[in-house]
Structure 1
Amino acid sequence: MFKHLVNNLWNKGAFEAGKRCRPFSYIFTSGFHGGQVLFAPRSFFGVEDFVDDDNSRPYTYQKEKKSKNPHKHISFKNRTIAYMEPFTLDVFISKRFVSASLTHRVTSKQVAVAGTNSKDIKAVLKSRSDIPACLAIGQILADRAREADVYTASYTPRERDKFEGKIRAVVQSLIDNGIDVKVYLN
């Protein structure tokens, strides 16, 4: 296609001797900036620098994600909850095992962890995923949390989880063993 363009210009007399001709550029009309070509010095990498529509500054992509509503008010509770209630409880229950952990919100470090897959707990339990296993995990997690000087935690169930059965058994066991757990239900 480029060869065809050069041949057309050659036949029209654009490259006659003695005439001063301006260098040309082939313009794609259905592409970046609607085919607009800017005669700017080439950049270090050999790619033309594109400017905005008002020719004010180089065309750049914004890396950070902007809020849809920049004037949105963030409540005091949303700003301070990570510091007022720094520890969160995470409970995971599958068909084969149960695990629970207490995590510090600000530093994202796990303070206490208990699960039925560990060797010492696995040997004692009859089943690794029933209600007595959940009660044992709650008791062990409460002991480990007290060793780490954690006495309060907050728990928000995942969207797919209901606060009943095995999850409730783990949380109730934590409460019974001296850890104050605030449960936030949707």
Structure 2
Amino acid sequence: MGFPYGIMLKQVIDKLLTGKAISGANGEKLRPFLCLGSRGVHNGRVVHAPRSFFGVEDYMDDDTSRPYTYQKAKKSKNPDKHLSFKQRTVAYMEPFTLDVFISKRFVSASLTHRVTCKQVAVAGTNSKDVKAVLRSRCDIPACMAIGRMLADRAKEADVYTASYTPRDKDKFEGKIRAVVQSLIDNGIDVKIYLD
């Protein structure tokens, strides 16, 4: 049976951690030099902590679980502080927004209340009653029919004004313009915001 080196090493490490003196080879008392900044003890052996390329330990980001070496920006206590009066009140002054979606197969449009996020009126060429009447579900006459139907349903819900801002990749021309123009022709006042 061999000498239990693991037990002896553990005793030496315990003495190092507690700061007790260790006897040297000639019998003199040695005080251990302890550096715990970049080292740790795990199962009886000294483990060096990994260092990053920049000389700073990597910290883990909570959101993406990727290492980063920068400080997170502080969140503002009052997010409405730097907004203008118009930006803060536009949701109440112009409460209804128009959303138009056009794909290769169908067209749909809706009026949504900004504050409550509820759809007031919806019209689309995928509904059964419209499918039977229209020859094509995605051409200009279909877009004009959707605008006319949406205007009628908005009037039933007592909505006469709306604002429209095109999406990032949409251009205000062609089918989208046909839907909005049909809404305007049928008595809905639409304010168009183009960037």
Distance 1:13 1:86 in 2: 70
**Structure 2 counterpart of 1:40:** none
1:84 aligns with 2:86: no
**Structure 2 counterpart of 1:179:** 188
Are the structure 2 counterparts of residues 12 and 127 from structure 1 closer, same or farther at C-alpha, using a change threshold of 3 Å?
A: closer
Q: Which amino acid in the other structure matches residue 82 of structure 1?
A: A
**Structure 2 counterpart of 1:29:** 49
Structure 1, gaps ≥5 residues long: 35-61
Q: Which amino acid in the other structure matches residue 86 of structure 1?
A: P
1:153 aligns with 2:155: no
Post-superposition CA distance 1:92-131 (Å, at most 9, x none): 0000000000000000000000000000011000000000
Q: Superposition pairs for residues 38-117 of structure 1, below 5 Å?
A: 66-67=75-76, 73-117=82-126
Identity of aligned residues (%): 73
Distance 2:156 2:80 in 1: 44
**Structure 1 counterpart of 2:9:** 8
The SS at the match of 2:163 is strand
Offset at 1:74?
Answer: 1.1
Q: CA-atom RMSD, angstroms?
A: 3.5
Q: Which amino acid in the other structure matches residue 9 of structure 2?
A: N
Matched length:
149
**Structure 1 counterpart of 2:172:** 163
Post-superposition CA distance 1:1-30 (Å, at most 9, x none): xxx987534257839xxx8xxxx9737634
Post-superposition CA distance 1:71-96 (Å, at most 9, x none): 96210011000000000000000000
Distance 1:174 1:5 in 2: 84
Higher strand share: 2
**Structure 2 counterpart of 1:126:** 135
The SS at the match of 1:108 is coil
TM-score after normalising by structure 2: 0.66
Distance 1:91 1:13 in 2: 72
**Structure 2 counterpart of 1:39:** none
Distance 2:79 2:50 in 1: 33
TM-score after normalising by structure 1: 0.69
Distance 1:13 1:159 in 2: 65
Q: Which amino acid in the other structure matches residue 150 of structure 2?
A: L
Distance 2:137 2:84 in 1: 42
**Structure 1 counterpart of 2:148:** 139
Structure 2, gaps ≥5 residues long: 21-35, 42-46, 58-71
Choose 1 or 2 for highest CA Rg.
2
Distance 1:142 1:171 in 2: 10
| Stretches (4+) displaced over 4 A | 4-7, 69-72
Distance 1:73 1:115 in 2: 39
